[in-house]
């Protein structure tokens, strides 16, 4: 067993063999590629799980994880520990300008009564709440009562991220990317000002439905066909085969004429999908109903 020291505390270190076992397990269950460059970060995050479980080294952790009981009890915790939750309010802001300035007006033209927007990797909730703010603002300016016609589905593989999103409580510094007028309108300050926390107002929390979903393992049977899907900065973590499978499944849940928002560093070319580029990393499903 290797060891590492942290301020006098002896910590178990992750051997190459155990890293290969664990990274293969993660890839099989989530599609996420764990390269050797992530070994140190992986090790430091999982050391907390070892301490919590009272295990002395990663060999014991592997034995526990690969047992019937351990797989059932630990998989979600391990995924929470190793998945990246890089997100911000109004991240890639040109997408939200395009959403309000073009996509929403186009969708409203077809006379549908209800619209579903799916944030397919919502992390701790900043993206779906940003979407809800944009929908609310659009409704007030262009179509009174429009917000009642929209619902936002927010899904993520991490149970911890879903719990945070439902709580809708954020540090004040996390809210900085939100325009000041929208911060004032859609965020409530904590009564204890020393905590420097804010919470999304109830009207927006009611619009967003959070649900745990593994984009690789779970079928999408419980997901209704969506008019808009945000799946940004997700497929970059997968190999080409997993990317193809995921994109086809998302495509199947996108309504004809609906819009798919991808990350700016992601491409969908070569997958044979009937998607026409509509804007910066935004694609419209051209398939007929």
Q: 32-46, 87-101, 259-273 — which one is most confidently predicted on average?
A: 87-101
Its domain, for residue 29, covers 3-82
Q: Are residues 178 and 99 in the same domain?
A: yes
Confidence of residue 169 (pLDDT cuts 50, 70, 90): very high
Q: Are residues 260 and 124 in the same domain?
A: yes
CATH code, domain carrying 47:
1.10.155.10
pTM: 0.82
- Compute CA distances 97 → 91, 92, 101, 136, 178, whole Å: 11, 10, 6, 14, 13
The domain tally of the chain equals 2
Q: Are residues 140 and 224 in the same domain?
A: yes
Q: Are residues 77 and 142 in the same domain?
A: no
Q: Does residue 216 fall inside a structural domain?
A: yes
Confidence of residue 84 (pLDDT cuts 50, 70, 90): low
Q: Are residues 164 and 227 in the same domain?
A: yes
pLDDT attached to residue 20: 87
Q: Does residue 88 fall inside a structural domain?
A: no
Mean pLDDT of the chain: 86
| Residues with a known catalytic role | 45, 156
Pick the last residue of a domain from 55, 82, 109. Answer: 82
Q: Does residue 130 fall inside a structural domain?
A: yes
pLDDT attached to residue 143: 66
pLDDT per residue as tens digits for the range 29-74: 777 777 777 788 788 888 888 888 888 888 888 888 888 777 777 8
- Of residues 169 and 81, the one with the higher pLDDT is 169
What percentage of the chain exceeds 70 in pLDDT? 92
Q: Are residues 59 and 113 in the same domain?
A: no
pLDDT attached to residue 288: 59
């Amino acid at each position: 067993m290797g060891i590492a020291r942290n301020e006098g505390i002896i910590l178990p270190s992750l051997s190459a063999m155990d890293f290969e076992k664990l990274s293969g397990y993660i890839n099989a269950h989530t599609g996420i590629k764990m390269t050797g460059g992530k070994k140190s970060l992986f090790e430091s995050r999982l050391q907390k799980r070892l301490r919590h479980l009272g295990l002395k080294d990663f060999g014991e952790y592997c034995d526990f994880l690969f047992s019937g009981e351990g797989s059932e009890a630990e998989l979600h915790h391990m995924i929470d520990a190793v998945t990246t939750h890089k997100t911000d309010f109004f991240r890639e802001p040109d997408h939200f300008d395009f959403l309000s300035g073009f996509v929403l007006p186009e969708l409203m033209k077809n006379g549908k009564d209800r619209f579903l927007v799916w944030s397919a990797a919502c992390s701790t909730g900043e993206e779906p709440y940003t979407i809800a703010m944009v929908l609310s603002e659009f409704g007030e300016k262009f179509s009174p009562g429009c917000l009642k016609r929209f619902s936002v589905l927010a899904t993520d593989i991490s149970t911890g991220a879903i719990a945070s999103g439902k709580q809708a409580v954020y540090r004040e510094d996390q809210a900085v990317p939100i325009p000041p007028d929208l911060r004032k309108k859609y965020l409530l300050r904590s009564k204890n000002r020393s905590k420097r926390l804010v919470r999304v107002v109830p009207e927006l929390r009611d619009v967003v439905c959070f649900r745990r979903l593994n984009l690789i393992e779970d079928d999408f049977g419980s997901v209704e066909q969506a008019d808009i899907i945000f799946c940004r900065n997700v497929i970059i973590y997968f190999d080409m085969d997993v990317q193809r499978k995921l994109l086809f499944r998302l495509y199947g849940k996108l309504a004809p004429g609906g819009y798919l928002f991808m990350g700016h560093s992601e491409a969908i070319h070569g997958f044979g999908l009937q998607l026409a580029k509509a804007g910066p990393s935004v694609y419209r499903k051209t398939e007929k109903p």
